[in-house]
């Protein structure tokens, strides 16, 4: 059973920073592409960022480019999302997602598709006050 665990959410003032982390317990020897979605109250879940299994490719939704940075952690199948210059519109529950190790490679065309990701974390709340 794959477990996906997020950490690092919280409350911050506009202009501040937070760092989210995620760890996925995959079968030994398996490295997977991972990412983040978010869902604000009354809105649909939306893609935020993703990183390929090798770390060579990163993807961002336009609204976070230049402010958020995704990276792979030191441990296998861990990722971080450094969020700077946070704004009230970034307030949402952030979900860590894990792509299938047998699925297609991440591309700009498919990276925002919910169907690409087999496993989801429970979510961590990020609240940005104005």
pLDDT, tens digit, for every residue of 53-66? 999 999 999 999 99
Average pLDDT of the chain is 96
Q: How many Å apart are CA 90 and CA 94, to the nearest integer?
A: 10
pLDDT, tens digit, for every residue of 1-28? 899 999 999 999 999 999 999 999 988 8
pLDDT, tens digit, for every residue of 37-48? 999 999 999 999
The answer to whether 48 touches 40, Cβ cutoff 8 Å, is no
Residue matched to tokens 């087999």:
118
């Amino acid at each position: 059973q794959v477990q996906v665990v997020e950490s690092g959410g919280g409350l911050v003032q506009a202009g501040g920073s937070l760092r989210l982390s995620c760890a996925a317990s995959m079968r030994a020897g398996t490295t997977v592409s991972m990412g983040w979605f978010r869902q604000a109250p009354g809105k649909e879940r939306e893609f935020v960022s993703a990183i390929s299994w090798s770390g060579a490719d990163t993807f961002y939704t336009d609204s976070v480019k230049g402010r958020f940075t995704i990276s792979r952690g030191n441990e296998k199948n861990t990722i971080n999302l450094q969020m700077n210059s946070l704004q009230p519109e970034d307030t949402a529950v952030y979900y860590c997602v894990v792509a299938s190790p047998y699925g297609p490679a991440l591309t700009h065309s498919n990276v925002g598709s919910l169907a690409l990701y087999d496993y989801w974390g429970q979510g961590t709340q990020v609240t940005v006050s104005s």
